[in-house]
Amino acid sequence: MFSRKTKEIDSQFESITVLEEVKLGGLKQSILIRGENINNPLMLFLHGGPGTAQIGFAPKFQRELEKYFTVVNWDQRGAGLSYSKDLKKEDLTIENMVNDTVELIQHLLTRFNQPKLFLVGHSWGTVLGVKTSQKVPELIYGYIGIGQVVNMREGEKVSFDYTIRKAKDLDNKKAQKELMSKEFNPTDMNFLKVQRKWLTKFGGSFIGVTMYNLVYSTMLFQSEYTMKDWMRYLKAGKFSLDSLWEQIVDVNLIETAPRLETPVYIFAGKHDYQTPFPLAEQYFHTLECPHKELIWFENSGHLLNYEEVEKFNEECIKIKENTLAI
C-alpha cells in the first residue's frame, strides 16, 4: 500500500517479475513484466479507457497466464504510473499512442530475443491493437480484441438506444427522465456520464464482476500501486479521457481497417453494450485476414477478461498452442 513492488514468482524456470520505466516516444512510461519462464512467448496488454491503466489491478487476474506467457501490462502515456503533470493534451494523440505501442513491441522482442508476440487490446486498447497490427503485422503472432471498438459513433447510438429500451422495459421512470433529458451527443461528457451510469445499472457494461472485486479490493491488497498512485490514477484517467475522446469518437475500423495481415481473435461478451457486441460481430464477418475467430463469452459484458477469467485464460492458452504448433 505504501511502497510500489510486484511479488516474486516461485518457479522451477527462470522467472521474471519486473516493474520498471522505459522510454517510449521520448517519455518515461511504466511497464509490468511477469512470467514463470522468460522463454515463454510474450503477451502485451493494451488497456482501455482511455486512461484505465491496469498495472494496479490486472495481475491478480492473470496468474494462470503467467505460466504460459511472459505477460506485459503497460500504463500508456498519460495514464496510471505513466502520467506526468508536464504532459499536454496535444501529447496524447492516437498516432502517438500507436507509435508508442510499436516502440514497446520492438523493445520487448529485442530484450527477450523473440520474433513476435501476442497482442491483446481491451476497449480503447482495441483501437491501438488494430492500428498497430496494420503497422507491424510481422511482429505479431495474433491480435486478440476484447470489447472490440468498431464504429464509435454508431456504437454509442446502439448503446444509448439499448439503455433507453431497458429503462422502458423495467418501467424505471427516473432512468427514462434522465436519459430522455439528454440529446444524443457522444462527444458530450455530461451525456456520457448519465448514459454510462444507467448502462452499468442495467447490466450493459459488466455483470460477472463488481467494482469492489476489480478495483477497491485491489487498492488494499495489491502492491503494484501505492495509495498515492491510486489517487493519481483518477487524475490521469480524466486527463487521458479529455485528451483522446473526441479523436476516438471518429474511429471507424470498418472503413479504415477492412483487412489485417495478422490472425485476429474477437472475444465478445454477450451482454456488452458499451462497445456493442453486434458491431464486433459485424466487423468480424467483414474483416479480411489470414485467420479469424469469434469467441463468445455468454456470461460477460464489457470486461470479459475479468468477468470470466478462467474461460479467458483457457482461450488465450489455446490460441498460443495452436499458433506455435503451426
CATH class of residue range 16-152+205-325: alpha beta
pLDDT of residue 3: 78
Percent of the chain residues past pLDDT 90, beyond the cut: 90
Contacts of 227 (CB under 8 A, 6+ apart): 1, 2, 219
d(CA 62, CA 223): 15
Distance between CA 300 and CA 296 in Å, rounded? 9
Cell of 66: 503467467
- Diameter of the chain by CA atoms? 60
Average pLDDT (3-32) is: 95
Residue 37 has pLDDT above 90, yes or no: yes
pLDDT in tens, 93-136: 999 999 999 999 999 999 999 999 999 999 999 999 999 999 99
- Domain spans of the chain? 16-152+205-325
**How sure is the predictor about 212, in pLDDT bands with cuts at 50, 70 and 90?**
confident
By annotation, the residues acting in catalysis are 123, 272, 302
Predicted local confidence at residue 227, as pLDDT: 87
